[in-house]
Amino acid sequence: MDSLQHTEDTPLRDSMTTPPLLLAGAGHAHLVMFRRWLDSGYRPPPGTALINPDRHAWYSGMMPGLMAGRYGAEQCAIALAPLCRELGIRLIQDVVRSLDAASNTMRLGSGMVLGYQCLSINTGSQPPAPPEDDGSIQVVPAKPFPALHQAWSDWRDQAPPARLGVLGGGAAAIELALAMRASLADTELHVFSASELLAQQPFGLIQRVHEMLAERRISVHTQTRITRIEHCHVMAEMRPICQLDALVLASGAAPLHWYADSGLAQDGQGFLCATETLQSTSHPNVFVSGDSASLPGSKKSGVYSVRHGPVLADNIQSFLQDRPLTRYQPQKKALALLATADGGALTNVGGWTLGGRLIGRWKDWLDQRFMARHRVENAPGDDTDH
């Protein structure tokens, strides 16, 4: 996989260009939007551009399976070049550094400045880190995925950490801990959670997860809020909890830094407030979806981001054509399938905890169906660097 570099066809450093539609981030909602546009025959206006740091969109649901050795990287990521080519979208491999919604301009990591008439933000979130860190251990956020993948590949192929921690008590943290055990057999593994594991789930499922973690030699520290890293120790306030060599952050969702100074309306946490039509509550020419959005009834998960996609596709098209917009209605519940790194998965159906290979095969089928549906085959000349 490629590292961050500017590879737009005509470099425009420090110059100003104003595409009619600018798409920031190749998140789940934008992928679904692209598929809907492909299926309906709609093509966005000429000059539309997508900014994404990587030439691939990684699918979070399969990342733990990748680290458990169950998938290759090429199965877990969608190449953006063929998708963009099919839709007539310019792919700019770069990162948004800042946004000024008052002047409709965006500055990228390369220094390029872009204006826009309409903007859609689907750049996701990042896991929060312990507020104090003296840099004595390697800290790897679970997102962005290319960096996590690189760190994990180095551990697996070169130097596995003797002691590895996973910060977080949700499904992503547990899946990653189980996956690390599958690929790093001799590493001492710990999970740290500020509350109980899977706090919203029924007791039966929580118990099954505790049993599984114990069977796989993973130590669990619940009710342990890690606030500091000091002298190779993770600490809860001033109390040393454990000595580590590396820590993976799967600690939930925090806003990206540049949301704060964007001028877009934000909630108390710093996520971008959106209406039911997925427009910014302060700037109607800016659409917000996925984890970046603060939207009543919607949660920070891939499942909810995917459901934003069709509404986003229709509403951006309608906005550009000056037609009425439709409303997004969040589903009340979402199916949670927790991959157990051995081909199996756990789930909760009507208060019953179900698990095993059959559930795992079901999860595989759902994940692979998503990938097949949103992938566009590479044409000769496309950048395929998997």
Ligand X SMILES: Cc1cc2nc3c(=O)[nH]c(=O)nc-3n(C[C@H](O)[C@H](O)[C@H](O)COP(=O)(O)OP(=O)(O)OC[C@H]3O[C@@H](n4cnc5c(N)ncnc54)[C@H](O)[C@@H]3O)c2cc1C
Q: Which residues bind ligand X (CB under 6 A)?
A: 24-29, 51-54, 57, 60-61, 63-64, 95-96, 122-124, 142-144, 172, 176, 250, 256, 290-292, 300-303, 305
Nearer to ligand X, 243 or 281 (CB): 281
Contact by Cβ (8 Å): 221, 190: yes
Q: How far is the CB of 237 from ligand X (least distance, A)?
A: 26
| Cross-strand bridge partners of residue 17 | 114
Distance, in Å, from the CA atom of 147 to the CA atom of 342, rounded to the nearest integer, reads 24
Residue 230 CB, shortest distance to ligand X, in Å, is: 25
- What whole-number distance in Å separates Cα of residue 10 and Cα of residue 139? 36
Residue 83 or 172: the one with the smaller Cβ distance to ligand X is 172
Q: Which amino acid is at 360?
A: G
As measured in angstroms, the least distance from the Cβ of 58 to ligand X is: 7
Nearest distance in Å: CB 222, ligand X: 20
Nearer to ligand X, 235 or 360 (CB): 360
CA–CA separation, 370 and 44 (whole Å): 23
Ranked by CB distance to ligand X, the top (closest) residue is 290
- Nearest distance in Å: CB 43, ligand X: 22
Q: 236 or 288, CB closer to ligand X?
A: 288
CA distance to 2, 4, 15, per residue, from 246 (Å): 24, 23, 41
Q: Is 55 exposed, middle or buried (0-12, 13-18, 19+ CB in 10 A)?
A: buried
Do the Cβ atoms of 168 and 225 come closer than 8 Å? Answer: no
For 306-328, give one letter per residue: b (16+ CB within 10 A) or e: bbbbbbbbbbbbebbeeeebeeb
Q: Among residues 26 and 325, whose Cβ is nearest to ligand X?
A: 26
- 27 versus 355: smaller Cβ distance to ligand X: 27
Cα-flanking dihedrals φ and ψ of residue 119, to 5°? -125, 140
Q: How far is the CB of 122 from ligand X (least distance, A)?
A: 5
| Distance of closest approach, residue 301 Cβ to ligand X, in angstroms | 4
Q: Between residues 160 and 302, which has the closer beta carbon with respect to ligand X?
A: 302
Q: How far apart are CA 164 and CA 160, in angstroms?
A: 9
**Residue (144 or 204) nearer to ligand X, CB:** 144
Helix (H), strand (E) at residue 210: helix 203-215
Query: Within 10 A of 242 (CB to CB), how many other CB atoms are there?
Result: 19
Closest approach, Cβ 152 to ligand X, in A, equals 11
Q: What's the alpha-carbon Rg for the chain, to the nearest Å?
A: 21
